[in-house]
Amino acid sequence: MLRFGTAGLRGPLQDGPDGMNVTTVTRATAGLVEWLRGRCLGGGAVVVGRDARHGSAEFATATAEIFAAAGFPVTLLPGPLPTPVVAYAVRELGAVAGVQITASHNPATDNGYKVYLDGGSQLLAPADTEIEKCIDAVTEPVARTPVTPADDDIVQRYLNRVSSLPSVLGGAGARAAIRIALTPLHGVGGQLVVQALAAAGFTDVHVVEEQFEPDPDFPTVAFPNPEEPGATDLLLALAVRVGADVAIAVDPDADRCAVGIPLPDNTWRMLRGDETGVLLGDCVLRTAPPDALVATTIVSSRLLSKLAPARGARYAETLTGFKWLARAGDGLVYAYEEAIGHCVDPAAVRDKDGISAAVLTADLVARLKAAGRTLTDQLDDYALEFGLHSTDQVSLRLDSAAAAADGVARLRANPPDQIAGEPVKYTDQLQVRGRMRTDALVFEGSGARVVIRPSGTEPKLKCYLEVVTPVAAPAELPAARTTAGQHLSALRDYCRGL
Distance CA 239, CA 363 (A): 18
Catalytic: which of 104, 300, 301, 390?
A: 104
Nearest to 188 by CA among 104, 235, 105, 254: 254
Name residue 484's amino acid: A
Distance CA 313, CA 297 (A): 17
The per-residue pLDDT for 175 is 94
Provide the 3-class DSSP secondary structure of residue 303. helix
Q: Are the C-beta atoms of 302 and 466 separated by less than 8 Å? A: yes
Nearest to 357 by CA among 467, 251, 255, 269: 255
How many other CB atoms sit within 10 Å of the CB of residue 46? Answer: 29
495 CB-side CA count, 13 A: 27
Distance CA 161, CA 364 (A): 18
Distance CA 416, CA 147 (A): 57
The per-residue pLDDT for 5 is 66
Distance CA 352, CA 340 (A): 9
The per-residue pLDDT for 161 is 98
Secondary structure element (H or E) that encloses residue 69, with its range: helix 56-69
Nearest to 455 by CA among 414, 407, 417, 386: 407
Distance CA 59, CA 21 (A): 8
Name residue 162's amino acid: V
Distance CA 462, CA 447 (A): 20
DSSP string, 403-444: HHHHHHHHHHHS--SEETTEE-EEEEGGGS-GGG--S-EEEE
Q: Is the dihedral of CA 481, 484, 490, 491 positive or negative?
A: negative
Report the DSSP pairing between strands 257-262 and 246-250.
antiparallel
Which residues lie closer than 8 Å to 342 by C-beta, 6 or more apart? 257, 276, 277, 280, 334, 335, 336, 352, 353, 354, 356, 357
Which residues lie closer than 8 Å to 331 by C-beta, 6 or more apart? 289, 291, 292, 293, 314
Distance CA 211, CA 105 (A): 14
The per-residue pLDDT for 336 is 98
Distance CA 461, CA 407 (A): 7
Distance CA 416, CA 163 (A): 49
Report the DSSP pairing between strands 97-101 and 110-117.
antiparallel
Per-residue pLDDT of the chain (498 residues; tens, 9 = 90+): 888 766 889 999 999 999 999 999 999 999 999 999 999 999 999 999 999 999 999 999 999 999 999 999 999 999 999 999 999 999 999 999 999 999 999 999 999 999 999 899 999 888 999 999 999 999 889 999 999 999 999 999 999 999 999 988 877 789 999 999 999 999 999 999 999 999 999 999 999 999 999 999 999 999 999 999 999 999 999 999 999 999 999 999 999 999 999 998 889 999 999 999 999 999 999 999 999 999 999 999 999 999 999 999 999 999 999 999 999 999 999 999 999 999 999 999 999 999 999 999 999 999 999 999 999 999 999 999 999 999 999 999 898 888 999 999 999 999 999 998 889 999 999 888 788 899 999 999 989 999 999 987 778 899 999 999 999 999 999 999 999 999 999 999 999 988
The per-residue pLDDT for 451 is 96
The per-residue pLDDT for 384 is 97
End-to-end, the C-alpha distance of the chain in Å comes to: 30
Provide the 3-class DSSP secondary structure of residue 183. strand
Name residue 376's amino acid: T
Active site residue 305: no
Give the C-alpha distances (Å, rounded to integers) separating 108 from 2, 242, 252, 286.
18, 30, 10, 40
Distance CA 223, CA 217 (A): 10
Provide the 3-class DSSP secondary structure of residue 281. helix
Report the DSSP pairing between strands 314-318 and 293-297.
parallel
Strand segments, DSSP code E, in 125-220 are 180-183, 205-207
How many other CB atoms sit within 10 Å of the CB of residue 310? Answer: 12
Name residue 461's amino acid: L
Nearest to 224 by CA among 258, 195, 268: 258
The per-residue pLDDT for 6 is 63
Name residue 356's amino acid: S
